[in-house]
Structure 1
Amino acid sequence: MSTDTTPEPAEQPHDAPPARELPAAVQRLWGAAAPRRRGPKPALSAAQIVGAAIDLADAEGLAAVSMARIAEAVGYTPMALYRHVSGKEELLVMMSDAVAADLPDIPADGGWRAGLEAWTRAQIALGLARPWMLELPLSAAPPGPNRVRWIDQAFGVLRPLDLPPDEKLAIIGLLAQHVLGEARVQIESHRAAVQQVRREAGLPDGTPESELDPAAVEAANPYADFETVLSRYADATTYPNLFEAFATWPETAPPTPPDDDIAFGITAVLDGVEAYLRRRGAIPDEGS
């Protein structure tokens, strides 16, 4: 009697297209790596290489990440790294998935809207903490185990909603796009402000932000005076609609704090998602 309990693979319909071969980097993310060589377990691992690359990116930015610098950090020759990672392109893929492991658990019992807000905010916060993530090419973000775990949490939040899985995935994708846009604006505007303060103070480009005046950095934000510029220079003839809208805008109005901008964006997007869900019958209509 056979003791083999391995399930038989599901039969594919005769007219079904052949299964697509996944990229080697994706297979490696999911543990489908090349068979181990005989002999003792190697002292160096892909996880060590990825960890060193992330530490380097955190400290000096993504541009500093090279196989030579990583080899120096882990105490091996660059050639030794290629036994575990095929090259920098695959390394970026592995880094992208590895940092997703730092995203927190999102409770699924607080309602779909609160859950999606927490899910979105957590990604923006991670992007602000690790700005180099936004410099990763889209090709470096295939669905690895940590990223899929994060998507799974969003599905957990949306589980009570009567909505097809492809539409749930589309909503998640919409929020992910918002994360990229919001985080990029926050990071780039802050970088520009820091650089301006350094320049105005006659400081070298590498001067740590901790040595700068936080109030000066906030005031140097390129968007800090945006409304004031519109109210002052949008004349009634050339820009009639802006003139009408900002005719009574006080030039002394304080700039909007970054967190208020983040909250406004998430609220507006989720308002749209809620309207869509009501139209699809996934949640009760307010009038019913």
Structure 2
Amino acid sequence: MDQAANDTVRLLWEHPARPTRGPKPALSLERIAAAGVEVADAEGLGAVSMQKVAGLLDFTKMSLYRYVPGKAELVALMVESAVGEPAPATEGTDWREQLTAWAFQLTASFTRHPWLLDATLGPRVPGPRELAWLERVVAALDGHGLSGAERMDAAVLIAGHVRSIAQQARAAGPDGSPEAGFLAALGTVVHRNADRYPAVAAALAEPGGHDRALDFGLARILDGLGALIDRRTGPGPTA
């Protein structure tokens, strides 16, 4: 593990009470993370810098380095702050209901903080809250005939679907929807070329059912998991 990863582990998991040197701390990691989230929510992840966050807190950039080694560690703190705790599983719900609720909770997080889509890419050290999200999925699928690797893969698959739709929603802007702009443009050209693309034209002409890619894709993923679970846990062949 390199030094940056070690620093991130220390900040996220060891909760240092004070900076490593200097006088009694006037800041906290929570305040620093909240200031970074405020900048990213308003201007995007690219606008976040040690200088800007320090200025928002009325501190100097150099004083901020006493608490956070650099921007990578700052972003890790921001992710941990913004992602929040996943809602606990509702008593009496089955695995499918739990994973559906989880997916929509994750969608809401990406909607509130679109920069999380960029900040959570690539290999990195997750914090306790982020790891709790993974725990929810793996625990919901425990005892249903799936291997550990398959339960982890299920979490990746569902999160990937949510991310894809959230990225489309971000590209559409605050007043758009993941499919609306695409369907509007598609409808124009397909209407003029319906003879060349009759199947697409017929699908677009059917009422309702559009702009539900999140729901549709999630349901199909869960259908597939359900079929696999049934094969693993169902009755064996009769003699």
TM range, smaller chain: 0.7 to 0.9
CA spacing shift, 1:101–1:140, aligned 2, 3 Å: farther
> Do structure 1's residue 263 and structure 2's residue 238 form an aligned pair?
no
> Aligned to 1:250, which of 205, 209, 231?
205
Considering only CA atoms, is the larger Rg found in Structure 1 or Structure 2? 1
Aligned to 2:230: 278
Residue by residue over 1:101-156, the C-alpha shift from the partner in whole angstroms, topping out at 9 and shown as x without a partner, is 24322326300111111111110111012112112252475321111111122223
Deviation by residue 1:197-244 (Cα, 9 ceiling, x = unmatched): xxxxxxxxxxxxxxxxxxxx57x94223255246424454xx5xx424
More helix by share: 2
Counterpart Cα distance in 2 of 1:172 and 1:96: 18
Distance in 2 of aligned mates of 1:79 and 1:38: 13
- The residue type paired with residue 159 of structure 1 is D
In the superposition, relative to structure 1, how do residues 271 and 121 fare at CA in structure 2: closer, same or farther (>3 Å)?
same
Find the counterpart in structure 1 of residue 187 from structure 2. Answer: 228
Measured against aligned partners, the alpha-carbon deviations of 1:164-201 in whole angstroms (never above 9, x if no partner) come to: 2221111111111111111111221235xx5xxxxxxx
User: What is the aligned-residue RMSD (CA, Å)?
Assistant: 3.2
Change (3 A) 1:244 1:36: closer
Instruction: Find out whether 1:101 has 2:84 as its counterpart.
Output: yes
Per the alignment, do residues 27 and 234 of structure 1 end up closer, same or farther by CA in structure 2, a change over 3 Å counting? Answer: farther
Percent identity, aligned pairs only?
29
**Contiguous gaps of at least 5 residues in structure 1:** 1-19, 195-216
Per the alignment, residue 133 of structure 1 pairs with 116
Secondary structure at the counterpart of residue 142 of structure 1: coil
8 Å Cα contact 1:120-1:179 kept in structure 2: yes
* AA matched with 1:243: P
Quick check: 2:40–2:115 contact (8 Å CA) kept in 1? yes
Counterpart residue number, 1:167: 150
Check the 8 A contact 1:189/1:223 in 2, yes or no: no
Higher relative contact order (CA 8 A, sep 6+): 2
Letter in 1 for 2:133: W
Q: What is the 5 A alignment of 1:1-288?
A: 23-24=5-6, 25-31=8-14, 37=20, 41-107=24-90, 109-136=92-119, 138-139=121-122, 141-190=124-173, 194=175, 221-225=180-184, 228-229=187-188, 231-236=190-195, 239=196, 242-244=197-199, 246-247=201-202, 249-250=204-205, 253=207, 256=210, 258=211, 260-279=212-231, 281=232, 283-284=233-234
Q: TM-score, normalised by structure 2?
A: 0.82
Q: CA deviation at 1:255?
A: 7.9
Unaligned runs of 5+ in 2: none
Aligned length: 234
